[in-house]
């Protein structure tokens, strides 16, 4: 039996014979030894047949993140709690020449207050139950989720056919199934003490998890569309979809079930974003003919270089440093009022997305079409109504029992 994967409390049981691991990264990729150790343990899980590892590979709680894994069994622990998390890229009908970044920041601060219609109707249109987490629709969440206003930095030949031009503006949205996926994950873990061995896809429990999983994936896609719709409304623009690519999910294949753990699930000819950071370029690529070699997977982003805890000792030690982290060299601004998140999501926490794209191109998995620079990145804004309520509420626990306004 192998060691537990990651820091989770439930160890994953290992199989005797390891699966084939195909590494799609060069010696220039920043890969931690802990991620490679987790990759080896994942190769010994019951039912696992093959693994594709990508240049954004990094340690995760229940195994390395940045992989596509083929198995005859279902492994919900690998997919985790943000089932269906992914990225969607949209084109706006707002030209770059008309953009004033400060005004866009002011408007996008109110992104999550924009009206999006009746949640029940939107869910029904998407073929989902009308009571499926309606209150969370159109919300980004925390961690590495964001909505980013971007402009084209470079265009490759043929990028125009993909709907890109260097005078346009674009929205890149990253989010997932929010509390819905978390609830499915918690219920699955609580109900199955032997989950480390995976689930039989033909069993009642396996079928039930797959059905819940499919709803989460569809909900997450709808959520990204509604986040983009809110951002477009705030900017007084219309939008059109360029790409919608999930990262945390299972797809059925003729050989079993491919688990995409922090990896973009794509098919030949499909467009996919590969995210950088809020101070580095993101990329739009097209999946190549050789994508079957990597189980239909590629990197979805740069991947973390340093974990969240480590970042608190590296950057943002004072207010001035944190304010500096909210700006980039293109004059872009990040909207993030959570001081811890500012530090944890600093650009230096991530690898070089350009190196990731280069490795994938050299492996024949993708062709790069464009790079995009970040102009406004929305992550988390303070609820102004809540701040005002707190400001007006006296705090009798301080100042010797006298009223003291809190800010």
- Which residues on adjacent β-strands are paired with residue 199? 74
Section 200-224 average pLDDT = 97
Quick one: which H or E segment has residue 272?
strand 271-274
Which among 213, 300, 312, 404 is annotated as catalytic? 300
Burial class (CB in 10 A: 0-12, 13-18, 19+), 252: exposed
Q: Which fold has domain 20-396?
A: tRNA-splicing ligase RtcB (3.90.1860)
DSSP letters for 299-360: E-B--BSS-HHHHTTTS--SHHHHHHHTB-TTS-EEEE--HHHHHHT-GGGB--HHHHHHHH
Residue/partner pairs of 95-99 with CB below 8 Å, 24 or more apart: 95/167, 95/168, 95/169, 96/151, 96/166, 96/167, 96/168, 96/169, 97/167, 99/149, 99/151, 99/169, 99/375
Distances (CA, A) of 80 to 42, 63, 83, 304: 14, 10, 6, 17
What is the percent of the chain where pLDDT is above 90? 85
| pLDDT per position as a tens digit, 260-284 | 999 999 999 999 999 999 999 999 9
Residue-range domain boundaries for the chain: 20-396
Confidence band (pLDDT; 50, 70, 90) for 13? Answer: very low
User: CB under 8 Å to 335, separation ≥6 — which residues?
Assistant: 105, 108, 109, 326, 376, 377, 378, 379, 380, 381
Contact criterion met (CB below 8 Å) for 295 and 70: yes
At 253, list the tokens.
């294949």
Query: Residue 140, SS3?
Result: coil
Section 241-251 average pLDDT = 97
pLDDT at 152 over 50: yes
Residue 407: other Cβ atoms inside 10 A = 5
At 369, list the tokens.
């079409």
The average confidence (pLDDT) of the chain is 90
DSSP classification of residue 42: H
404 part of the active site: no
* pTM for the whole structure: 0.90
Contact criterion met (CB below 8 Å) for 148 and 278: yes
pLDDT at residue 310 in the model? 93
Burial class (CB in 10 A: 0-12, 13-18, 19+), 190: exposed
pLDDT at residue 390 in the model? 41
pLDDT at residue 383 in the model? 60
pLDDT at residue 402 in the model? 29
| pLDDT per position as a tens digit, 103-146 | 999 999 999 999 999 999 999 999 999 999 999 999 999 999 99
| pLDDT per position as a tens digit, 353-405 | 999 999 999 999 999 999 999 999 999 997 644 434 444 444 333 333 322 22
| pLDDT per position as a tens digit, 247-257 | 999 999 999 99
pLDDT at residue 385 in the model? 44
pLDDT at 84 over 90: yes
* Residue among 146, 350, 177, 143 at smallest CA distance from 247: 177
Most confident of 137-146, 159-168, 187-196: 137-146
Quick one: which H or E segment has residue 170?
strand 169-175
d(CA 129, CA 279): 39
pLDDT at residue 231 in the model? 98
């Amino acid at each position: 039996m192998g060691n537990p994967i990651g820091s989770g409390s439930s160890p994953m049981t290992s199989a005797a014979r390891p699966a084939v691991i195909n590494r799609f990264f060069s010696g220039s990729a920043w890969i931690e030894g802990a991620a490679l150790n987790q990759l080896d343990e994942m190769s010994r899980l019951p039912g696992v047949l093959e693994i594709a590892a990508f240049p954004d590979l990094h340690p995760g709680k229940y195994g390395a993140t940045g992989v596509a894994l083929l198995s005859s069994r279902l492994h919900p622990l690998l997919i985790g709690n943000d089932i269906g998390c992914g990225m969607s890229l949209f084109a706006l009908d707002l030209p770059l020449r008309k953009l004033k970044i400060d005004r866009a920041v002011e408007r996008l601060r109110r992104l999550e207050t924009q009206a999006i219609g009746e949640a029940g109707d939107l869910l029904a249109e998407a073929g989902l139950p009308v009571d499926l987490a309606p209150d969370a629709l159109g919300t980004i969440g925390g961690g590495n989720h964001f909505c980013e206003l971007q402009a084209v930095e470079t265009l490759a030949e043929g990028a125009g056919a993909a709907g890109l031009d260097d005078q346009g503006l674009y929205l890149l949205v990253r989010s997932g199934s929010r509390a819905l996926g978390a609830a499915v994950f918690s219920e699955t873990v609580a109900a199955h003490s032997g989950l480390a061995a995976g689930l039989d896809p033909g069993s009642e429990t396996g079928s039930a998890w797959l059905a819940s999983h499919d709803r989460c994936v569809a909900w997450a896609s709808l959520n990204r569309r509604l986040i983009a719709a809110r951002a477009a409304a705030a900017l007084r623009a219309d939008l059109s979809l360029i790409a919608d690519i999930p990262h945390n999910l299972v797809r059925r294949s003729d050989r079993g079930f491919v688990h995409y753990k922090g990896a973009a699930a794509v098919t030949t000819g499909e467009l996919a974003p590969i995210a950088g950071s809020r101070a580095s370029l993101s990329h739009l690529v097209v999946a190549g003919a050789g994508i079957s070699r990597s189980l239909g997977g590629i990197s979805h982003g740069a991947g973390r270089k340093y974990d969240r805890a480590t970042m608190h000792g590296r950057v943002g030690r004072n207010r001035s440093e944190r304010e500096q982290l909210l700006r980039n060299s293109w004059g872009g601004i990040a909207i993030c009022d959570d001081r811890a998140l500012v530090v944890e999501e600093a650009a230096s926490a991530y690898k070089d997305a350009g190196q990731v794209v280069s490795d994938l191109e050299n492996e024949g998995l993708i062709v790069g079409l464009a790079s995009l620079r970040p102009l406004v990145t929305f992550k988390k804004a303070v609820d102004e109504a809540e701040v005002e309520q707190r400001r007006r509420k006296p705090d009798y626990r301080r100042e010797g029992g006298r009223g003291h306004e809190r800010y």
